[in-house]
Amino acid sequence: MRYQLSIFMENRPGKLEAITKILAQNNINIRGISLASAGEFGVVKIIANESDRAYEVLKKAHFAVSKREIVIALINDTPGSLHDLLKNLSSNNINVEDCYGIVLEEGEKAAIVLEVEKFPEAERVLKANNITVMSDTEI
């Protein structure tokens, strides 16, 4: 299972830093990060190269952290690519709960991180439409 870590965080200076510090000290690499806030608090989502270990070290430091299953789709870094991806999902009635993207190679490749309601289905739909889904090792 591919997953990212979702961590509760107060929206104050130094709070995000406390998380990155722990990961750095444990020599864990962050491959993707996104942040959503609701005023005084927020949720930071992190894709780590060693998810299980990242989860353990944060848990040990008493962060409220949970594992969220994700699908990472590789698309072309061209106009309309994300649109095509989303169209495939919506036409199959798959709702996207969270989504952010990272350009991997300018003009070539981008990775789209998705949290969806129905996982096996989402992967099946994407594969059927010739969209590459990243595996564990690739992360």
Q: Which of 38, 79, 135, 136 binds another protein (CB under 8 A)?
A: 38
Binding residue count for another protein, defined by CB under 8 A: 22
SS (H, E, C) the chain: CCEEEEEEEECCCCHHHHHHHHHHHCCCCEEEEEEEEECCEEEEEEEECCHHHHHHHHHHCCCCEEEEECEEEEEECCCCHHHHHHHHHHHCCCCEEEEEEEEEECCCEEEEEEEECCHHHHHHHHHHCCCEECCCCCC
How many CA atoms, within 13 angstroms, populate the side-chain half-sphere of residue 61? Answer: 18
Q: Assess 118 for contact with another protein (CB under 8 A).
A: no
- Residue 106 in the binding site for another protein (CB under 8 A): no
User: Minimum distance from CB of 33 to another protein (Å)?
Assistant: 15
Kindly tell me which residue out of 42, 76, 96, 102 binds another protein, with binding defined by CB under 8 A.
42
If the CB atoms of residues 55 and 131 are measured against another protein, the closer one turns out to be 55
6 counts as binding another protein under rule CB under 8 A? yes
Verify binding: residue 21, another protein, rule CB under 8 A: no
Cβ proximity to another protein: between 25 and 37 the closer is: 37
Kindly identify the residues of this chain, within the stretch 54-93, that bind another protein according to CB under 8 A: 59, 62-68
* Contacts with 76 (C-beta within 8 Å, 6 or more apart), sequence order: 108, 109, 110
Least distance in angstroms from the C-beta of 69 to another protein: 10
What is the token pair recorded at 27?
């020599």
In the complex, the residues that contact another protein under the rule CB under 8 A are 6, 8-10, 15, 36-38, 40-43, 59, 62-68, 97-98
